[in-house]
Amino acid sequence: MTLLESSITVAIISVTAAVAVPSLLRARESYALDAAARQVAGNLQSARIKAISRNRDCRLRVTSVASYAIECEDPVWNVDETVVLRSGFQITANATPRFHRRGNASPTATITVSNTWGRTRRVIVNITGRIRLE
């Protein structure tokens, strides 16, 4: 292989990499945001199951822009678990969803997980205790 052929091969690989890398980075950010939202949804489901199995009210309470706590009432609120989101993610909620002994929730809530790029995923808790991602 000559020097010219090697140079052309390196140029083609460089152009291909330059085109592919930004889309791969966006995909990685998207997957990381989805994973953070799924973690919140899973912890909400865990709080619901704890409320049913312990016959006590449990809730997810946002404690800061980067953390939240799973708490159960016995007769005061005790923290079962505190979760800190990975760096670059934030969490907000319009209410503190509280799961009751029968699995229903009140008040209903929307929990928003966002990243540094401004993309968001919402975790919605409805009155029946159903949890879904949007």
Please state the domain extents for the chain.
Answer: 3-133
The answer to whether residue 56 scores a pLDDT higher than 80 is: yes
In this predicted model, which residue has the larger pLDDT, 83 or 28? Answer: 83
The answer to whether residue 19 scores a pLDDT higher than 80 is: no
- Give the class (CATH, top level) of 3-133: alpha beta
Rounded Cα–Cα distance for residues 50 and 79 (Å):
12
For residue 52, give both structure tokens: 């049913």
> pTM for this structure?
0.82
Q: Tell me, what's the pLDDT at 28?
A: 82
Q: Tell me, what's the pLDDT at 20?
A: 64
Rounded Cα–Cα distance for residues 49 and 42 (Å):
11
